């Protein structure tokens, strides 16, 4: 099983330390202290240094750890800090030619009531995969006189994966059930100097079912479903109950050749082996290639912090 980490050259993000159920991270010019249940070990830096370095600390609320309120709480500033700020991610240069990548993301960050800040840095390897696969398919389409690849991003949050596909020349559909989050993603698109993304505020399963009925197809599909959630009309999402059905619909709308899918899962108890099995069964084995593994962060002391599992497929 592979373990993928963000590249060392990403200068706008750094996991400084982890332990005692917390992580100390630098996003651009600010250092944040947040809960991280998977950090089961002792921190490497003394508590005094954690307190001294952090610009802001997340304080869990009464509902923290409960379904639907897993990450709720408040932020306590320890120093001067803006409510919103930005970071940049530039893609990896070509391994053979060393030419610079066209993957350039400019992302607006902000302190939310749910511990998140608008980006999940461990997702950088998925952004690279999406960009490279979309670029490959775009070249095939161009050589054969076909239109730009169509990429669908479900549960798309603030849009870094959507932007990665757009940077590679895709016709991107970005879907999330929260209108404010879609607005945030649109801002990230504009900050990144891109345009033309299709924005959809809808329940992901309903959308995939409708696209299947209509016979619509996509050359790339990205899924990052939560353990629990709600659609814009109150639709209930529970990962354990609905993931397999969603993947069956995704299998129906993914192109038959020169296409890809990325599935990311944060839910505790889900393994890469489980992810591979549920994908294989949903697609009924109709896959050219499948890889899986974990996405993790390395702190500056070499402690690996695994955060999610992924399954990537090609057809």
pLDDT band of residue 66 (cuts 50, 70, 90) is low
pLDDT (tens digit per residue) in 186-221: 999 999 999 999 999 999 999 999 999 999 999 999
What is the pLDDT at residue 232? Answer: 84
pLDDT (tens digit per residue) in 50-60: 999 999 999 98
pLDDT (tens digit per residue) in 245-254: 999 999 999 9
What tokens were used for 91? 């893609």
Average pLDDT, the chain: 93
What is the pLDDT at residue 70? Answer: 54
pLDDT at 1 over 90: no
Closest CA to 188 of 128, 83, 108, 119: 108
What tokens were used for 183? 């607005």
pLDDT (tens digit per residue) in 78-123: 888 888 999 999 998 877 777 788 999 999 999 998 889 999 999 9
pLDDT (tens digit per residue) in 21-46: 999 999 999 999 999 999 999 999 99
Domains of the chain, CATH where assigned: 2-314 (3.40.50.150)
103 exposure class (CB count in 10 Å sphere: 0-12, 13-18, 19+): buried
What is the pLDDT at residue 90? Answer: 94
Is the pTM value of this prediction over 0.85?
A: yes
Say how far apart CA 202 and CA 27 lie, in whole Å: 30
């Amino acid at each position: 099983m592979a373990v993928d980490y963000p590249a060392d050259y990403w200068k706008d993000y750094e996991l400084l330390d982890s332990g005692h159920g917390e992580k100390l991270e630098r996003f651009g010019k600010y250092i944040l202290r947040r809960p991280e249940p998977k950090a089961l070990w002792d921190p490497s830096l003394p508590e005094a240094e954690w307190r001294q370095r952090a610009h802001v600390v997340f304080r869990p609320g009464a509902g923290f750890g409960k379904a639907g309120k897993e990450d709720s709480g408040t932020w306590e500033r320890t120093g001067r800090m803006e409510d919103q700020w930005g970071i940049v991610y530039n893609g990896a240069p070509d391994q053979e030619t060393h030419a610079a990548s066209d993957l350039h993301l400019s992302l607006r960050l902000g302190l939310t009531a749910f511990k998140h800040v608008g980006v999940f840095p461990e997702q950088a390897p998925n952004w690279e995969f999406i960009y490279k696969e979309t670029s490959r398919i775009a070249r095939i389409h161009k050589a054969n006189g076909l239109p730009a690849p169509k990429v669908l991003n479900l549960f798309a949050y603030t849009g870094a994966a959507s932007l990665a596909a757009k940077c590679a020349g895709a016709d991107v559909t970005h879907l999330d059930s929260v209108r404010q989050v879609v607005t945030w993603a649109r801002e990230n698109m504009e900050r990144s100097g891109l345009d033309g993304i299709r924005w959809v505020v809808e329940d992901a399963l309903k959308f995939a079912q409708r696209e299947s009925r209509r016979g619509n197809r996509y050359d790339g599909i990205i899924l990052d479903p939560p353990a629990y959630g709600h659609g814009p009309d109150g639709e209930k999402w529970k990962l354990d109950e609905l993931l397999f059905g969603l993947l069956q619909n995704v299998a129906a709308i993914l192109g038959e050749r020169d296409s890809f899918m990325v599935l990311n899962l944060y839910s505790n108890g889900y393994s890469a082996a489980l992810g591979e099995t549920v994908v294989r069964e949903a697609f009924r084995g109709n896959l050219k290639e499948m890889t899986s593994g974990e996405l993790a962060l390395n702190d500056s002391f070499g402690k690996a912090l695994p955060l999610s599992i992924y399954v990537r497929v090609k057809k």
